[in-house]
Amino acid sequence: MGPTKILLEEREIPRQWYNIQADLPKPLPPYYHPGTLQPLGPADLAPLFPTELIKQEVSQERFVDIPEEVQEVYRLWRPTPLFRARRLEKALDTPAKIFYKYEGTSPAGSHKLNTAAAQAYYNKREGVRRLTTETGAGQWGSALAIACKFFGLECTVYMVKVSYQQKPYRRSLMQAFGATVHASPTDLTNAGRSILAEHPDSPGSLGIAISEAVEDAATHDDARYSLGSVLNHVLMHQTVIGLEAKAQMAKVDAYPDVVIACCGGGSNLGGISHPFLADKLTGKQPKLRVVAVEPAACPTLTKGKYLYDFGDSVGLGPVARMYTLGHTFVPAGIHAGGLRYHGDSPIVSLLYDEGIIEAIAYHQNPVFAAAIQFAATEAIVPAPESAHAIKAAIDEALRCREAGEAKTILFNLSGHGNFDMAAYDDYLKGKLTDTEYSSEEVEKALAHLPKLA
Ligand SMILES: Cc1ncc(COP(=O)(O)O)c(C=O)c1O
């Protein structure tokens, strides 16, 4: 029997990120300015991001060097382990081979620190004093709080109100690393005040929290904004996941037939899948499948439209062509807070529109059932977001059982759920509801998209 844990040495941590833009079948559509609705130039992004990240956003270089200072931080927890889920395979009685890459070993508990470290480093190098950001699940806010502490930056986090209430200890964790945390919408920004004026009981959303964080950065010279997902440079930073997983699978002579990840803004999906998709896009692995898994309460890829929309709820951030449910759509307060985003990464959107990747949506009760089944065999309680990928991997393995096929399945376990026990409590007490997204609300939100000339 081969190993259960497939490990790399510290010296095998990737030294470069992989940039899928070099291999896309067509260029990404440009960004547009939220005010003028004209194509966006680097100068328009300067109030929000440091120059190096703006360059990375549009870079066509296939590989980009990881700075030594960022590698030094990565060495705290990378390389992360790749597991063969033998006990889960046995419980499912499937001939499929199930592998999972575990990003929950990072100090923040998820993959998010891979890009937080890089973003904090570039901002510090360019003289920024403070970073502002949003957080849904609290995973991204924790990651940025840690990264800011490492690189000597202040950190202001706008945390979606429903998550702020559901996850008080994520807030404490961010505060322990010195971050200032606000429940969004707040009355501290014009964006927050405008939402509260219309919806005083708003549970908040990632789109609203992004608007607040963007406004805060844009109105303070010494502050910049940091986004935990969606943008091209964020997905690129996450490719350390897939690059390591590829090397780990090679060690046991394995290659996935299907790569699965949950998809909020698309960063862990991009991170695990892009290094494998490189083989599909260059013709080496034409049959490789990649599956994005999203919540049925916020089904951006499976029910949204591929159109130009604002990345935030109020319309302050860049306009991107992406799958969207409409920037004013506020998804139900499901427990996978990190998947409650109206839009999606432009790269993931293009790959989906071109039929290169697939997508599937699940309700939260079956997702939590899969999480419990996984924990019972593999002993890790997953983040509710990551549990979406587990549900899809289990379903794929069960289809293999029916068909008698020994496929190789790889999924990304993007984070642990140790701060999500209130959600598990609700699930175990039968208190979780499976909220259908409202197609009426989506139609209404889609009527408010920006009209480009
Ligand atoms: C553990 C975890 N997985 C996945 C996600 C979804 O984000 P993304 O699609 O950018 O990977 C989040 C977002 O907060 C998260 O915390």
Alpha-carbon distance 101 to 272, whole Å?
Answer: 8
C-beta separation of 341 from 207 below 8 A: yes
Read off φ and ψ for residue 168, nearest 5 degrees: -60, -30
Whose CA is closest to 229, among 311, 163, 147? 311
Pocket test for ligand 1, best of 139, 240, 347 (most atoms within 8 A of CB): 139
Tens of pLDDT, residue by residue over 45-98, are 999 999 999 999 999 999 999 999 999 999 999 999 999 999 999 999 999 999
Tell me the best of 100, 236, 237, 267 to mutate to test the pocket of ligand 1, counting ligand atoms within 8 Å of each CB and taking the most: 267
Question: What's residue 438's pLDDT?
Answer: 86
Residue 337 pLDDT > 90, yes or no?
A: no
Task: Examine the pLDDT at 274 and tell me if it is beyond 90.
Answer: yes
Determine the pLDDT at residue 344.
97
pLDDT at 453 over 80: no
Query: Minimal CA–CA distance to 339: which of 296, 306, 396?
Result: 296
The pLDDT tens digits for 10-20 are: 999 999 999 99
- Supply the mean pLDDT for the chain: 96
pLDDT of residue 66: 98
Q: How many other CB atoms are there within 10 angstroms of residue 376's CB atom? A: 11
Span from the CA of 154 to the centroid of ligand 1 (angstroms)? 23
Residue 384 Cα, ligand 1 centroid: separation in angstroms? 9
**Ordered DSSP codes for 54-89:** HHHHH---SEEEPPHHHHHHHTTTPSPPEEE-HHHH
Cβ of 413 closer than 6 Å to ligand 1, yes or no, is no
- Going by pLDDT thresholds of 50, 70 and 90, the confidence category of residue 280 is very high
Tell me what the mean pLDDT of segment 346-356 comes to: 98
Residue 127 tokens, joined: 């003289």
For residue 389, how far is its CA from the centre of ligand 1 (angstroms)?
11
Omega before 185 cis (within 30°)?
yes
Closest ligand 1 atom, residue 230 Cα:
10
Q: Is the pLDDT of residue 312 over 80?
A: yes
Residue 359, token pair as written in the block: 């997508």
Percent pLDDT > 90 in the chain is: 93
Q: Answer for the pair 426, 334: CB distance below 8 angstroms, yes or no.
A: no
For residue 333, pLDDT beyond 90: no
> 10 Å Cβ neighbour count for 422?
14
- Residue 134 CA: distances (Å) to CA of 35, 59, 212, 214, 395: 21, 25, 8, 9, 33
d(CA 444, CA 449): 10
Which residue has a Cα nearest atom 14 of ligand 1? Answer: 338
Q: Does ligand 1 lie within 6 Å of residue 265's CB atom?
A: yes
What per-residue confidence (pLDDT) applies to 160?
95
Query: Given CA atoms 397, 341, 14, 417 in this order, what sign does their dihedral have?
Result: negative
- Residue with the two structure tokens 């964080």: 213
Q: For residue 435, name the pLDDT band (cuts at 50, 70, 90).
A: confident
Q: Name the residue with the closest Cα to ligand 1, atom 1.
A: 415
Average pLDDT over residues 37-50: 95
Q: Where are the alpha helices (DSSP H) in 113-188?
A: 113-125, 139-151, 161-166, 168-176
Shortest-distance Cα residue to atom 10 of ligand 1: 267
The whole-number pLDDT of residue 392 equals 99
Q: In angstroms, what is the span from residue 360 Cα to ligand 1's centroid?
A: 16
Pocket test for ligand 1, best of 162, 385, 411, 418 (most atoms within 8 A of CB): 385
Res 166 pLDDT > 90: no
What's the confidence (pLDDT) of residue 336?
87
Q: With a 6 A CB cut-off, is 384 part of the ligand 1 pocket?
A: no
Is pLDDT above 90 for 294?
yes
pLDDT tens for 191-240 read: 999 999 999 999 998 999 999 999 999 999 999 999 999 999 999 999 99
Confidence (pLDDT) at 133: 98
- DSSP 8-state code for residue 197: H
**Atom 12 (ligand 1): residue with closest C-alpha?**
338
What mean pLDDT do residues 258-286 have? 98
Which tokens go with 98?
A: 């199930």
Asked whether the beta carbons of 340 and 263 are under 8 A apart, the reply is no
Among 111, 115, 413, 420, which is best to mutate for testing ligand 1, by the most ligand atoms less than 8 A from CB?
Answer: 111
Q: Cα 290 vs. chain centroid, distance in angstroms?
A: 15
* Residue carrying the six token digits 């860049």: 318
Distance 139 CA to ligand 1 centre (A): 8
pLDDT-based confidence at 436, cuts 50/70/90?
A: confident
Q: What is the pLDDT of residue 437?
A: 85
Which percentage of the chain shows pLDDT scores above 70? 100
Q: Which of 162, 166, 229 to mutate to test the pocket of ligand 1 (most atoms within 8 A of CB)?
A: 229
End-to-end CA distance of the chain: 61
Beta-strand (E) ranges in 53-160?
63-65, 82-84, 97-102, 130-135, 154-160
110-121: average pLDDT? 98
What's the pLDDT band for 279 if we cut at 50, 70, 90?
very high
pTM > 0.95: yes
Give 231-263 pLDDT, tens digit per residue. 999 999 999 999 999 999 999 999 999 999 999
As a whole number, mean pLDDT of residues 336-365 equals 96
Give the HSE-up count for residue 436: Cα atoms under 13 Å, Cβ half-sphere.
3
CB atoms within 10 A of CB 346: 24
The rounded distance, in Å, linking the Cα atoms of 278 and 210 is 31
Whole-number Å distance between alpha carbons of 39 and 185: 29
Q: How far is the CA of 36 from the centre of ligand 1 (A)?
A: 31
70: which 2 tokens? 């960022």
Judged by DSSP in three states, 23 sits in: helix
Judged against a pLDDT cut of 90, whether residue 332 lies above it is answered with no
Q: Give me Rg for the CA atoms of the chain.
A: 20
What pLDDT shows up at residue 175?
A: 98
* Confidence at residue 334, expressed as pLDDT on a 0 to 100 scale: 84
Nearest partner of 4 among 115, 121, 89, judged by Cα: 89
pLDDT given for residue 137 in this prediction: 82
Residue 136 pLDDT level (bands cut at 50, 70, 90): confident
| Peptide bond preceding 79 in cis form (omega within 30 of 0) | yes
CA distance 175 to 115: 20
Residue 305 in this model has a pLDDT that exceeds 90: yes
